A and B are shown apart, each in its own frame.
Chain A
């Protein structure tokens, strides 16, 4: 029976959907069968991040309302096929169109079919959030190193624990090593100090993420991307491996040498 993980944040725009897509693709590429569920009804986006927006026929609401069978609504990924599927959210309906009991039933069915079911939660703490967490076994909280995002993450951690989803794990997204070095951005230990939950990973701010989203292809298997590396490490940690955090503080001298060696510097 598969594991159901909700990916949530409280604050919008911190990278929940990108994180869901990349963890999903990463776990699939490591040989797992993965189902991604977009629970953000009315504001769906996981489909475009994965580049599957043109293949949608049925959505989550069609499934719970019985307009189609579950399998008909699952969209196979371009790269991973049956090992990575998406259940898209309904775009033209209201957030409260799905009831928690229906979500629970749906998740129960999906966990029989997949090794991992990842639920991409909407921002906020209202109905959609409650729907997203109702069937989950574990939670991942995404934040950025900003005061507003960390504050909302704290609130979400409180709500998750109140809903008996204990020990949520944290992903710190969009870390900028140059700013951390200058003391102008909180680093892992600062955020750890404040939130006191297990840190699952740290993802550096990376322009390649924007390029990959433009293309509709996850970055997790791009060997040259630092963010891709960070997501690969997160996937291995989810599978129980001990992987050290990425060295984000780049050493200037080392970079200089690298450039010389690759013939870039003249």
Chain B
């Protein structure tokens, strides 16, 4: 009975929700490390877009996944040489 009430109040949340959350995150890590090709393509696109607005140091540019315990962030470190007066 207690078990039943517990489930009633928790909503129908069993351990599968936890499984799904953990899987999601672990797959972001897995896929990120699996696909340097993807990161390179992203880098090229970023250069193209940003170059419209400013001159950047392409060689010194870094794009990577920053992996925390419960999150993954995309970080880009892009040295700016000069900012343009108007959009190309």
Contact = CB atoms under 8 A, between A and B. Distances in A.
Interface in A143-190: 146-147, 150-151, 154-155, 158, 180, 182-187, 190
Contact of B12 (A150, A154, A183, A185): A183
A266 B9 CA distance: 36
B27 A184 contact: no
Contact of A194 (B12, B15, B20): B20
Contacts of A186: 16, 19-20
B86 to A, nearest CB: 42
Contact of B34 (A158, A183, A185, A194): A158
Nearest to B15: A184
B31 interface: yes
Contacts of B19: 146-147, 186
B16 A155 contact: no
A193 interface: yes
A194 B17 contact: no
A146 B23 CA distance: 9
B17 to A, nearest CB: 7
A147 B24 CA distance: 10
Interface residues of B, number: 18
Contacts of B30: 151, 154-155
A249 to B, nearest CB: 13
A194 B26 contact: no
Nearest to B35: A158
B44 interface: no
B60 interface: no
Contacts of A146: 19
Contact of A193 (B7, B20, B26, B35): B20
Interface in A67-119: none
B13 interface: yes
Interface string B24-60: 1011001100110000000000000000000000000
A102 B67 CA distance: 42
B23 A150 contact: yes
B23 A147 contact: yes
A190 B31 contact: no
A150 B24 CA distance: 10
Contacts of A180: 16
B84 interface: no
A183 B20 CA distance: 11
A193 B17 CA distance: 12
B27 A183 contact: no
Interface in B68-82: none
Contacts of A187: 16
Contacts of A147: 19, 22-23, 26
A172 to B, nearest CB: 13
Closest 4 CB pairs of A and B: A183-B14, A184-B14, A186-B16, A184-B15
Interface of A: 146-147, 150-151, 154-155, 158, 180, 182-187, 190, 193-194
21 contacts: A147-B23, A147-B26, A151-B23, A151-B26, A151-B27, A155-B30, A158-B31, A180-B16, A183-B13, A183-B14, A184-B14, A184-B15, A185-B16, A186-B16, A186-B20, A187-B16, A190-B16, A190-B20, A194-B20, A194-B23, A194-B24
